[in-house]
Amino acid sequence: MRPANARFLVVLAAFFFSTGGAAVKATALGGWQIAGFRSLIAAAMLVVVLPSSRRRWNLGTLWVALCYALTLVLYVCANRLTTATNAVFLQYTAPLYVLLLSPWLLRERIRPREYVFMAALAVGMGSFFLGAEAPVETAPSPLAGNLVAALTGLTWGLTLLGLRRLEGEDRAGAPAAVLAGNLLAFLICAPFALPLAASRPQDWIAVVYLGVVQIALAYVLLTRALRHVRALEVSLLLLLELLGSPLWAFLLHGEVPGPWALGGCAVILTATLFWTR
């Protein structure tokens, strides 16, 4: 694959990722139902289009899958409570936990410049909890949602650490963890998602889109491109998710984050850009 084509696949994956928050808010289903059925649909898609995901299931794979499953569920719950902007930017504080835990889990030392990056992420994360954001229809409980989103940053950081370790041990381990994570997410949500309340066709269209496109297709596109694009370029191109998620939420739902949240967004985005240089 030509590098230009691979970059386009990364951009397309980032675009699909960025639509998650707006799509979650477009359905009247509950958070447990959205998260559970989104992951069940994604798992079915991955089994078909990614045969390697059916192999190499072991205890290590399942631990990573559990962290990923929690990320999937918490991300949806955060988006049901707070703004899409807050949810995605707080998830992107994951590198803070990756750097903090790397010395113990991966035996990697923290470099001096990474301490500065960690401090910037901590400041950015703290900004989301300063000031009081008024509840709105698409973000009925901003503080609770911000807390859930911050926890998503931790579970996503643990997922990234686990996926990296699996890649070092067996390249088939990461796809297996992604498939298992989606199945676990469904099992976690199922007791709270059933029985189903009355719903509209557009609610299920949104859920199917989330499972097929926003998770499964985006993941497949990203894995196809990773072999042909430098990791630095991938990291920078995926930042388009941070820009796209607030944009779709604003265009489709009129959602606008508060001033402190916007300040935190600016700090996290700037720090991430400098760190990936």
The tokens describing 46, both together, are 């991955």
The predicted pLDDT at position 232 comes to 60
Q: How far is Cα 211 from Cα 239, in angstroms, rounded to an integer?
A: 21
Residues of the chain with pLDDT under 70: 106, 132, 167-172, 231-232, 276-277
Q: Please, what sign has the CA dihedral across residues 41, 32, 86, 250? A: positive
Q: Which residues lie below 8 Å from residue 153, measured CB to CB, with a gap of 6+? A: 90, 91, 92, 93, 94, 96, 97, 125
| pLDDT tens-digit series, residues 189-206 | 999 988 877 788 999 999
Cβ-Cβ contacts under 8 Å for 139 (sequence gap 6 or more):
81, 82, 83, 86, 133, 145, 255
State the pTM of this model: 0.89
CA–CA separation, 118 and 100 (whole Å):
8
Tokens coding 211: 């499972």
For tokens 């820009």, the residue is 243
What is the tens place of the pLDDT at every residue in 210-268? 999 999 999 988 888 877 777 667 777 888 888 899 999 999 998 988 888 889 889 98
Instruction: Please give the pLDDT value at position 189.
Output: 96
CB neighbour list of residue 194: distance below 8 Å, 6 or more residues apart: none
Domain ranges of the chain: 3-275
